[in-house]
Amino acid sequence: MRALVLPLALLLALAPHPAPAEGPATDPLTIANTYGRALAILGQQQAVAMLAAAIEDSRRQALAEGTAAIPEAIRARLAGHVPAQDLEMVRWRVGGGTDLSLQRNAILHGNASAITLGEVVVFADEGEALANASLWAHELRHVGQYREWGVPGFARRYLADHQAVEADAVAFAAAFAGGPLPLTLPERARLSPPRAPW
């Protein structure tokens, strides 16, 4: 609790105060709203920090378990569409992670085909990793997002509007495929049969 006191006091000091003509804020609702805003900001900051730490921890686990460079056939198909620096830096693997890792939970419980953790992509299925260039294009857009925004920036944007972050990657993959935009994630979930457990 003590760890919250200083950040909360700082946020309260920065919170908007009534104009001098209005007098000091003594209305309980105004005070409660000020505290509520401060706590909401603090909660958002804590959530961003926690997600960023989970991304970094999960990324380190994947790297420690062993990763490989992008398959040459996939790289050749994506050259010219994906920034060269993203093709150079990306590493990949199939599965892995501890019970609390993002990759394990996204694949086992989130029905994800893959998850991107910085420059590391963890796939649910090796066949997809070796053959699905559109899935790679989607995940490599996330690699680019991490490069552009950093891990904390990615975490902040993902928590604020994960649909916008995903829509950017979906549109990038659709542009690579040269077709119409694919179904939205909820529409796709309704049409796809459930995946077998990993």
SS3 141: helix
* Long-range CB contacts for residues 113-117, cutoff 8 Å, separation at least 24: 114/138, 114/139, 116/142, 116/143, 116/146, 117/55, 117/58, 117/59, 117/62
Is the residue at 180 inside a domain? yes
Is the residue at 7 inside a domain? no
Is the residue at 36 inside a domain? no
User: What is the reported pTM?
Assistant: 0.73
Is the residue at 19 inside a domain? no
State residue 22's pLDDT score: 55
Q: Are strands 114-117 and 120-123 parallel, antiparallel or unpaired?
A: antiparallel
Number of structural domains, the chain?
Answer: 1
Is the residue at 39 inside a domain? no
* pLDDT tier at 5, thresholds 50, 70, 90: very low
Q: Which residue would you say has higher pLDDT here, 13 or 116?
A: 116
Q: What mean pLDDT value characterizes the chain?
A: 81
Tell whether the model's pLDDT for residue 189 goes beyond 60. no
Is the residue at 61 inside a domain? yes
Is the residue at 40 inside a domain? no
Residue-wise pLDDT for 126-156, tens only, equals 999 999 999 999 999 999 999 999 999 999 9
Tell me how far apart the alpha carbons of residues 177 and 133 are, in angstroms, rounded to a whole number.
9
Is the residue at 110 inside a domain? yes
State residue 45's pLDDT score: 87
Tell me how far apart the alpha carbons of residues 136 and 114 are, in angstroms, rounded to a whole number.
9
Tell me how far apart the alpha carbons of residues 19 and 128 are, in angstroms, rounded to a whole number.
60
Structural domain of residue 180, as residue ranges? 51-191
